[in-house]
Amino acid sequence: MATADLRKGYLLGLATFSIWGLFPLYFKSIEQYAALEIVTQRVIWSAVFGTLALLLWRHPGWWRELLANPRRLGVLAISSVLIAANWLIYVWAVNHDRMIEASLGYYINPLVNVLLGLIVLRERLRPLQWLAVAMAAIGVGLQLLTLGEFPWISIVLALSFGTYGLLRKQAPVAALPGLVVETWLLLPVAVAWLLLFGSGASTEPAFWTTPEALWLMAAGPVTLIPLLGFNAAARHLPYSTLGFLQYLTPTLLLVLAVQVFGEPFPVDRQLAFFCIWAGLAVYSLDAWRIMRRSAA
Residues 232-271 pLDDT 10s: 777 777 666 666 778 889 999 999 999 999 999 888 888 8
Residues 111-132 pLDDT 10s: 888 888 878 878 787 888 888 8
Cα–Cα distance, 203 to 64 (Å, whole number): 36
User: What global pTM score does this model have?
Assistant: 0.89
The interaxial angle of helices 219-236 and 3-21, nearest 10 deg, is 150
Cα–Cα distance, 116 to 97 (Å, whole number): 29
Task: Count the alpha carbons within 13 Å of 98 in the hemisphere toward its beta carbon.
Answer: 15
Cα–Cα distance, 214 to 31 (Å, whole number): 14
- For residue 168, which amino acid is it? R
Choice between 79 and 59, residue whose per-residue pLDDT is larger: 79
Cα–Cα distance, 223 to 262 (Å, whole number): 26
Full residue range of the structural domain in which residue 275 is found: 3-295
Total domains in the fold of the chain: 1
Is residue 23 within 8 Å of residue 222, measured between CB atoms? yes
The confidence band for 294, taking pLDDT boundaries of 50, 70 and 90, is low
pLDDT at 295: 64
The interaxial angle of helices 35-56 and 70-95, nearest 10 deg, is 130
Which residues are CB-neighbours of 153 under 8 A, at least 6 positions away?
A: 89, 93, 98, 101, 102, 105
Instruction: Render 274-292 in DSSP notation, one character per residue.
Output: HHHHHHHHHHHHHHHHHHH
